[in-house]
Structure 1
């Protein structure tokens, strides 16, 4: 996973409330176990609407998505986080998130930032024409207009994102401790160790 320190760039001013995971990535895309190519199917029903923000070239490749309350509700499909990643989204800012979506996003290197609705309204306004900066290290969202919005983040999630560690990375980071334990356990219970020839 790529370390996350700060993201600067345009933001999709989406703003819709109660966007479920089926809207983020429709069920027809759940047949794959690949994380690549899902961005093409992301927000398919929204993209069918004239003038939607996701097909506006002005926002193409934006690393930030601004959404409404209860983003990511519905089923627990991890494909929703995969699709956002494939679109290039590194941060989703909303007043609230589904717990399962927030967990899946974190496990896939996406920061979820909860801010009050009045802040979302301001960021939606800024996103129409200017970039937004999300600084994880200092836990602040800023704009070119001197707006500064602090946000809370779980310390464990913050440290993992800053270091670029997913679950596999966390396990590998403990490789020496695991090897030492295995060696000690093998010495204490040699009958459990299968000999290989």
Structure 2
């Protein structure tokens, strides 16, 4: 995975509670065997009208949010089934960071495993960001190494992140590359194991 240390991008607001993984990526699109190409199906039922044209009332279809890479989402984001396709779809759509008051646990871990940073913020700090960015075309900076969000007015908001997941993102590790860091120890173990048999 690509290392994640600091990101600056446009923020988009999707202030809906309990957005489940079936809304993020509907079940009919789970037949694909690739990890890519899901972005065009993200939020499909909200994003498009029945004739296939963009739904003008859907938040993320606003011109102000075009090209957004930071999603300001509502409470309990990513609830429902544990499908890993949900972070695949969000990442392919262009989001690299999701900020919310709370996430479903499995979705939260799946984001980290796929190189995306989910940030939990206390409700009052989250609400301030929502009010600042709603219907606006403004950028935001997320500094993972220093664990701080810098808004469009240079105000700083600290956030917590599990040290294990922070190390994984900062170094661009996935679970396979983390295992390969121990390749010498694994080879030594395998050599020693032969004498035990």
Q: Quick one: distance in 1 between partners of 2:184 and 2:167? A: 20
Shift of 1:124: 2.2
- The TM-score normalised by the length of structure 1 is 0.91
Q: Quick one: distance in 1 between partners of 2:2 and 2:59? A: 26
Q: Quick one: distance in 2 between partners of 1:58 and 1:176? A: 51
Q: Quick one: distance in 2 between partners of 1:143 and 1:16? A: 21
Q: Which residue of 2 aligns with 1:112?
A: 118
2:177 to 169, 181, 196: 169
1:182 and 2:154 aligned: no
Q: Quick one: distance in 1 between partners of 2:160 and 2:33? A: 32
Q: Which residue of 2 aligns with 1:193?
A: none
Aligned residues: 189
Query: Please, what is the CA RMSD of the aligned residues?
Result: 1.3
Runs of at least 4 residues off by over 3 Å: none
Q: Quick one: distance in 1 between partners of 2:77 and 2:10? A: 19
5+ residue gaps in structure 1? 190-197
1:53 to 59, 62, 87: 59
Shift of 1:111: 0.9
Question: Within 5 Å, which residues of 2 pair with 1:1-197?
Answer: 1-48=1-48, 49-127=55-133, 128-189=136-197
Q: Quick one: distance in 1 between partners of 2:84 and 2:102? A: 18
Shift of 1:118: 2.3
Q: Which residue of 2 aligns with 1:195?
A: none
Shift of 1:155: 0.6
Higher mean Cα deviation, 121-130 or 160-169?
121-130
Shift of 1:120: 2.0
Q: Secondary structure at the match of 1:134?
A: strand
Q: Quick one: distance in 2 between partners of 1:41 and 1:124? A: 25
Higher mean Cα deviation, 101-110 or 178-187?
178-187
Residues 144-193 of structure 1: CA deviation (Å, up to 9, x unaligned):
3132111111110110110010111111111111111111112332xxxx
Q: Quick one: distance in 1 between partners of 2:18 and 2:76? A: 5
